[in-house]
Structure 1
Amino acid sequence: MSIELRLSRASRIYRPSEPLEGKIIVKSPSSISHYGIRLTLNGSVNLQVRGGSAGVIESFYGVLKPIPILKKSIEVRPSGKIGPGTAEIPFSMILRQPGEDNLERFYETFHGANISIQYLVSVDIMRGYLHKTISTTVEFIVESDAADLFERPVSPEMVIFYITQDTQRHPLLAELKSGGFRVTGKMSTQFSLSDPITGELTVEASALPICSIDIHLLRVESVLLGEKIVTETSLIQTTQIADGDVCHNLTLPIYVILPRLLTCPTILPGPFSIEFKACIVISFQSELSKLHSKSDPTSPRLWRWKLCHLNWFGQDRLIRTETTVTKMKMCI
């Protein structure tokens, strides 16, 4: 005997005001009796502290108590029998009724290193004391309601940046210090979560040939543990925008698509917070770099510049940045 949960949408994306619909598909070679078929919805923020900036005491606690978001259960069918073959049992369940009080706000689905916001739908076929309950679980994705998306209009904004050998705080190759280097550009600072990061970059001068120009997307997860906030920064993805030595004074486009499950609207500090950064990383060709071709891209190197450029803020699927040129800093 097998059981399958098949949601009505292949994308598995739903909004809180929409019904979660689908079918429970039961395959059995013979007729079976049951004591009810129950459908359960669970949503929670799962927190844990591990590695990185966590100390010995913080790591000892490990997984923290989840923050509940959603807890609902309905009986799809009362006690009865399921005939042999394949049986399809439809179901429909509203995530949030109008005017209903939630345990917590409906955060959007997010899979991080220390923080995970997850929504699950489970079905249980109860068969009494002499038989094991048959169950299966499927994750579905929650996004903000359409009304929330357009509550505030998104206006295009750009931040202008420039980097030279004088703006860097970590040690550099002697050739870069003496010969000089200058890169200018701009990047979008306010956009919807479904839009890409856009902008442009121009290499005006460089004493050494360039090996690669990349955009690092980072997540900054903070968890409140007692009176201490444990913060961990981790790499989500790397997007290369230039390979090899680029022509000087040539405008290079910046276009980075955000991975849906690994990003979410910024959540401001509370029991936890989730923020993001985009870093421009410029690597140069040198004899020293050839000896460390597989080095960690997040670590500072003599032949690499790393500029923390974007710091996202916002809510309801809007991502805003407030970083200016004077706030640019070295990312380690």
Structure 2
Amino acid sequence: MMAIELKLSRADRIYRPSEHIEGTIIITSSSPISHHGIKITINGAVNLQARSGVTGVIDSLYGSVKPIKIMSKCVDVSHSRKLAAGKTLVPFSITLASPGSDEFFETFHGENISIQYLITADVVRGYLHKPLSMTMEFIIESDRAKLMETIPSPEMVSFYITQDTQSHQLLPELLSGGFRISGKMVTQCTLSNPLTGDLTVEASAAQIESIDIQLLRVESILVGEKFISETSVIQTTQVADGDVYRSMMLPIYIIVPRLLTCPTVLAGQFSIEFQVSIVITFRSELSKLYPKGDLRTPKPWLAMQTLPLRLIRTK
């Protein structure tokens, strides 16, 4: 019986390009084994990924757009030798970035685009023996030296949602009675801080069913000379349930999920941007016939406002 385990020095597996990635390869065997070397391989790439059971514009390009290589490094950590029975520990330490290497992008897991860094430990054996291998993902964040020294003040933008700001068809009672929701929302913030803001229902003839804030990602890929983009929901946060009091200010406080977001990226071949959408659901007999899940598609009982959101990282 043989087994291989890969342990990194940091439990959170978060590293920066200028740092060393350190860890230990643990090889367990019930009998002595010979090998032709032990190596560590590190790969980083921007990948286009297809969604299971879903076909969108970007999904149709899967297979025709090649991954964008960020880094690739292979280092021998042990020469050929024989390992005794039991447990063998092989420590390693590798510098991630090489002098003059290309820019690193932070780890990101999106709907259509993923930025992923993988480390693989291989025990090379002869043709007649089964190789030992283990792969693990680690997380890359921007170098501290390249980050802003001070945290910029959040940029707040005021918004107004009325029947006149909606471009889709509304229920007759919403058009005749009217409504007005106002507030302000942050459009630039750091990944370590929450999204904040507030909103107030100033007037509404129809009763309100729910008020939700959606965090959206906009993933774009350069195909030929044209960018193909798709927008998807990262998370939905309900800030009010039921018909709220008029003229009462409702606070907005949303935690940004780490692996599902990253600093806004505007690269040559792809981009990752973010938006925040305020969605008002009005109480209607018609709305009861449809599931609430999809808040992005305009419906007669929905009113919404979408704002751009720039995410940054600071020291």
Larger CA deviation: 109-118 vs 40-49 = 40-49
Whole-angstrom CA distance in 2 between matches of 1:299 and 1:197 = 23
Matched, 1:125 2:123: yes
Match of 1:96 in 2: 97
Residues 45 and 60 (structure 1), Cα distance of their counterparts in 2 relative to 1, 3 Å cut: closer
Q: CA offset at residue 11 of structure 1?
A: 1.1
Alignment deviations for residues 220-268 of structure 1 (CA, whole Å, 9 cap, x no partner): 1111112232111111111111111111111111111111111111111
Tell me the SS of whatever aligns to 1:287. coil
Contact preservation (8 Å) 1:48, 1:64: no
Aligned position for 2:245: 247
The one-letter code sitting in structure 1 at the alignment partner of 2:28 is K
| In structure 1, C-alpha distance between the alignment counterparts of 2:291 and 2:119, rounded to whole Å | 45
**Equivalent position of 2:186 in the other structure:** 188
CA distance in 2, matches of 1:198, 1:131: 58
Indicate if the aligned counterparts of 2:221 and 2:269 stay in contact, CA closer than 8 A.
yes
Counterpart selection for 1:237 from 224, 228, 235: 235
Cα deviation code 1:265-300 (max 9, x no counterpart) = 111152111111110011011111111134522211
Q: Normalization by structure 2: what TM-score?
A: 0.93
Unmatched tracts of structure 2, length 5 or more: none
CA RMSD, aligned part only?
1.9
Q: 1:182 offset after TM fit, Å?
A: 0.9
Give the number of equivalent residue pairs. 310
Distance in 1, Cα, partners of 2:197 & 2:292: 28
Q: Distance in 2 between matches of 1:85 and 1:294?
A: 57
Preserved contact between residue 173 and residue 303 of structure 1 (Cα < 8 Å) = yes
* Aligned: 1:34 with 2:32: no
- The corresponding residue for 1:78 is 79
Residue 175 of structure 1: SS of its match in structure 2?
helix
Q: For the Cα contact (< 8 Å) 2:161–2:303, is it kept in 1?
A: no
Alignment of 1:125-204 (within 5 A): 125-151=123-149, 153-204=151-202
Bigger Cα displacement from structure 2, 135-144 vs 259-268: 259-268
Q: Which residue of 1 aligns with 2:11?
A: 10
Distance 1:294 1:134, change over 3 A: same
Q: Distance in 1 between matches of 2:61 and 2:156?
A: 43
Cα deviation, residue 113, structure 1:
2.0
**TM score, norm. by length of structure 1:** 0.88
Q: Is the CA contact (8 Å cut-off) linking 1:47 and 1:63 kept in structure 2?
A: no
Match of 1:59 in 2: 60
Distance 1:60 1:178 in 2: 45
Structure 1 residue ranges without an equivalent (≥5): 319-332
1:127, CA displacement in angstroms? 0.9
Find the counterpart in structure 2 of residue 282 from structure 1. 280
Rounded to whole Å, the distance in 2 between the matches of 1:218 and 1:273 is 14
The equivalent position to 2:313 in structure 1, one of 286, 311, 317, is 317
How far is 1:312 from its partner? 2.8
Q: Find the counterpart in structure 2 of residue 323 from structure 1.
A: none
Counterpart of 1:175, as a letter, is E
